[in-house]
Amino acid sequence: MDFRSLRFKLTLWYVLILGILLISFSSFLYLTLSRSLYRDVDHKLRSLAELIASESTSPLSKFDFGSIDQTLETSMNLKPIGKFIQVLDESGRIGRRSENLKSARLPISLNALRNASKGLITYETNRSLRNTPLRIITYPVKEQNHVTKMIQVASSLEDVEDALNTLLIILLVTVPSILLIASLGGQFLAHKALKPVDRVTQTARMITSQNLNQRIQTLKVKDEISRLIDTFNEMISRLDQSFRQIKQFTTDASHELKTPLTILKGEVEVALRKKRQLHEYEQILESNLEEIDRMSKIVEDLLLLSRADIGEIRLNREDIHLTPFISGLTEQMKILAQPKNIRIQISNHEAEHEEELHILGDTLRMRELFINLIENGIKYTEAGGSILITLKKEMNGSVNPLMPKEKKPAAFVKIIIADTGIGIAKEDQEKIFNRFFRVDKARSREQGGSGLGLSICKWIVEAHQGEITVESEPGKGSAFIVRLPFYSP
């Protein structure tokens, strides 16, 4: 047996606790029975001594100390079988004694004599008479407040000790037997209870990064082990999803970086095949610079997301009044929209409320968020289209119901950036915030997209305890909805 195993430790603790309980109960039983038997003997001895004393001091009594046995039998109709009786005078000299003592005498200690002279009753246990354990009571008899005699009544303790010894032997045999049986039963129960854990261990050892789709078989009984298995399966599912995302991310990142590198290499190879005119070299360098800029943008965005994932980016939060903030950004973005003749308008609903729309956020990140969303709308909106930006206040009851109640602020600022562009298919709407995901990869590359803009937007919103969603219909446009916690300055 492995003494370091959990099965051995559980069995050991089980047997140890059971042993403590059994020993405690056995000790309590033995001591209680012992006190009860001794108390019963003392009670009988005292009752007999009091009876003899009361009869001997009564003026109408015919009690004769000359023959104690006959007097008890004739005058009191009492046969004190197994009791030894002895009468002493006040100085301790023996007067009369019961016939069963014959020539022997009951021992009396100095302590008993001293207590009797003070009128105190003394109980003693003595083995000097025939090596028999005797329980002796020394009872003083007072007449006119003066001790005139002492009555000693003794009884054998052999039956009491035999009963206690029998009980002790039973306990010494029973308790170890019970502990032995309990240890075997505990080991069996521990093996039975921990068998699913062994199955979990074996399955977990077989799961690697190559087969994260494998799961531990769940139990029918919903107990602690079942919850442990469910937790392991959930963890494996999260790991599986993370590995898939990492693989997909690695593939997409490699593809995104491979394309401009291939273009760079091809253009340089073409340029080196023969001598060219100066303007041709200038065109090739300009094209190379575009690809380098695109790669730099991808690398910068990847670095930003990587730092965000490990929590290295700190937000400098400050009060932001959204209406003038977004209005300023809109004026700048109108310059990008002019070549496609796209109208950008702001519909501000804050006039419906007494308070203005404020948030507590990082100005630089908020600027990046809304520029990315507006620029995204410009890219995917046909010439002559429009982008409408709506601001309004919203209570938390209409926000994501899955968000923990204690984390929900009292109100949100809702910003809707709606365009009249090409729209997004329903099956793609849940993927657009994934890194490097593009609805139209070819068109996105032509427009300079890296596929990381919406992922950055999602991180910025969530870092400000908000949420971002999209509502879209192909051919009718898309609406990106950002909810940020309302701030009252």
Q: How many CB atoms lie within 10 A of CB 246?
A: 11
- How is residue 64 annotated by DSSP? -
Q: Both ends of the chain: CA-CA distance in Å? A: 68
pLDDT for 78 equals 56
Per residue of the chain (489 residues), give pLDDT as tens.
Answer: 566 777 788 888 888 999 999 999 999 999 999 999 999 999 988 988 888 887 766 554 455 544 555 555 555 555 556 678 888 887 778 777 777 777 778 888 888 888 888 889 999 988 876 677 889 999 998 887 788 888 888 888 888 999 999 999 999 999 999 999 988 888 888 887 777 777 778 877 887 777 777 777 777 777 777 888 888 888 888 888 777 777 777 776 776 677 778 888 888 888 888 888 888 888 888 888 888 887 887 788 777 777 777 777 888 899 999 989 999 999 888 888 898 999 999 886 554 444 588 999 999 989 989 999 999 899 888 999 999 999 988 876 544 544 444 456 678 999 999 999 888 888 888 888 887 776 655 445 555 556 788 888 998 999 999 999 999 988 889 999 999 999 887
Please give the single-letter amino acid code of residue 388: L
Is 391:320 a contact under the CB 8 Å cutoff? no
Angle between helices 278-309 and 224-273 (to 10 degrees): 170
pLDDT for 239 equals 83
255: phi > 0 → left, psi -120 to 50 → alpha, else beta; which?
Answer: alpha
Cα distances (angstroms) measured from residue 422 to each of 261, 383, 449, 473, 475: 30, 11, 16, 8, 5
Closest Cα to residue 45, out of 106, 129, 102, 115? 106
User: H/E/C letters for each residue in 98-155?
Assistant: CHHHCCCCCCCCHHHHHHHHCCCCEEEEECCCCCCCEEEEEEEEECCCCEEEEEEEEE
Domain ranges of the chain: 6-162, 224-296+298-306, 316-485
Cα distances (angstroms) measured from residue 285 to each of 222, 226, 288: 67, 64, 5
What's the CA gap between 438 and 452, in Å, rounded? 9
Is 330:367 a contact under the CB 8 Å cutoff? no
> Under DSSP, is residue 357 helix (H, G, I), strand (E, B) or coil?
coil
What's the CA gap between 256 and 441, in Å, rounded? 10
What radius of gyration do the chain's Cα atoms show?
A: 50
Is 175:22 a contact under the CB 8 Å cutoff? yes
Closest Cα to residue 237, out of 207, 215, 205, 208? 215
Torsion 106-110-115-117 (CA) sign = positive
What's the CA gap between 215 and 236, in Å, rounded? 8
Residue ranges of the alpha helices (H) in 414-471? 441-446, 453-463
Judge whether 6-162 and 224-296+298-306 match in fold.
Answer: no
Residues 6+ apart with CB under 8 A from 488: 355, 358
Containing H/E element for 262?
helix 224-273
125-49-109 Cα angle (round to 5): 35
Is 377:387 a contact under the CB 8 Å cutoff? yes
Please give the single-letter amino acid code of residue 417: I
> Under DSSP, is residue 418 helix (H, G, I), strand (E, B) or coil?
strand
57-63-67 Cα angle (round to 5): 130
Q: Which top CATH class is 6-162?
A: alpha beta
Q: Which top CATH class is 224-296+298-306?
A: mainly alpha
Is CATH 3.30.565.10 correct for 316-485? yes
What's the CA gap between 190 and 182, in Å, rounded? 12
